[in-house]
Structure 1
């Protein structure tokens, strides 16, 4: 499915590069493994080739999919507003979505947390999830759109100028 030097996405970890495919003896059986270096932290991950799809390993999104994801993040029509749902329940739900191989699930968490932050201060855990979602999205989109994570972050923040600007101005005034 994948070859050496392919860029792939490992759920909840982000973009990685397949360094090699090697065979190891595990429990008396020879198993082929993808050896993947996660680019943001140089962590090495080994994924059995036969199990790659089950763990959610996937290729980077295409440029068209990347642009569609940015449009999805910008679109607020599916946001119903802060419902007062228990933060712990939201945290568990969002944590699961960040582990998904579906990039739209990650984008959903990012958009929801930014918009919820408009109505209430996010808890420490929610802020961490927001940063994780932002990192996962910006890193993948930077690769697929031939950009930088900082440029993608700026583009995403521009979608929420009406929400994020006052908070930035308040922190500058302090």
Structure 2
């Protein structure tokens, strides 16, 4: 059975017809062409598929799209300014501090860090470690990732003081 539904992703409403049991990740990647969220484990264990739903990190690989109706969905692509393309402070900091190596975990790290910094603009290293603990990085870039989140916090505080 096919249902018509509306998903608001990165500020744009999309009217879609799909079987109700498809995952949000499938819809984002296959229907909307948003490739930031990656398929990793398919079990919500690695974080590669992380998106923000109403500002909180969610694993799109296991979340049924119908559970996202009427909610605000933000993907990696939605963090940058849609008009100018200027990166958000978290994205910029990950570039500056080389917080990615292979880049596969990058989506989950950036999205989780963005959510953390919205709720806690001055996190400690322990806060950062705690927030990112369920995002797996197999390249061992953990120190650079933590430095990236610390730098993003600095950039965000600087933007607020301007």
TM-score norm. by structure 2 comes to 0.31
TM-score norm. by structure 1 comes to 0.29
Between Structure 1 and Structure 2, whose CA radius of gyration is higher?
1
Higher relative contact order (CA 8 A, sep 6+): 2
More helix by proportion, 1 or 2? 1
